[in-house]
Amino acid sequence: MPKKRNRSSNLANAKTRAGKILSDAINKIAKEETETAMLDGEDVMITKAHALARLIWKSALGYTVTTIEGVASKQILHPPSLAHQQILLDRMEGKVAAAEPEKKENKSELADRLSKEATNRINSINE
């Protein structure tokens, strides 16, 4: 007699396959040389992955953007990003990115439900 497969395991397998397909596509796109950067004083083509790494470094160190509106110029300071610093330090130490746990229930929803339950119990005692 053939073994019945559990529906939840089928769903988990489908999610795993979809995740692998997406990861493969992202990795393929990351290798495309479509971006430019200044290296040693000249413009060179770099991969999207290289460009993303440069953006993470820029954000980790902080940077200033100067905008010119008419005759006035305005500087916008972007402070260093601690999250991007942590990403860089982890990668330089060879650590793998931690997967974010799935959010099962919103804490505020749980607090509201507990509050309502407590109110119902107090009201039932008074009756």
> Mind listing the pLDDT tens digit of every residue in the chain (127 residues)?
556 556 667 777 888 888 899 999 999 999 999 999 988 999 999 999 999 999 999 999 999 999 998 889 999 999 999 999 999 999 999 988 776 666 665 666 777 777 788 788 888 887 6
Separation between Cα atoms, residue 4 and residue 84, nearest integer Å:
46
Sign of the CA dihedral with 20 first, then 22, 24, and 27 last? negative
Domain hosting 92: range is 31-97
Please give the biggest Cα pair distance in the chain. Answer: 82
Q: Residue 63 domain-assigned?
A: yes
**pLDDT on residue 62:** 95
Residues pairing with 33 in the sheet: 47
Please tell me whether residue 42 adopts helix, strand or coil conformation.
strand
Domain tally, the chain: 1
Q: Residue 65 domain-assigned?
A: yes
Separation between Cα atoms, residue 80 and residue 57, nearest integer Å:
10
Q: Residue 56 domain-assigned?
A: yes
Q: Residue 106 domain-assigned?
A: no
Q: Residue 109 domain-assigned?
A: no
**pLDDT on residue 66:** 93
- Show the tokens assigned to 30: 């990351």
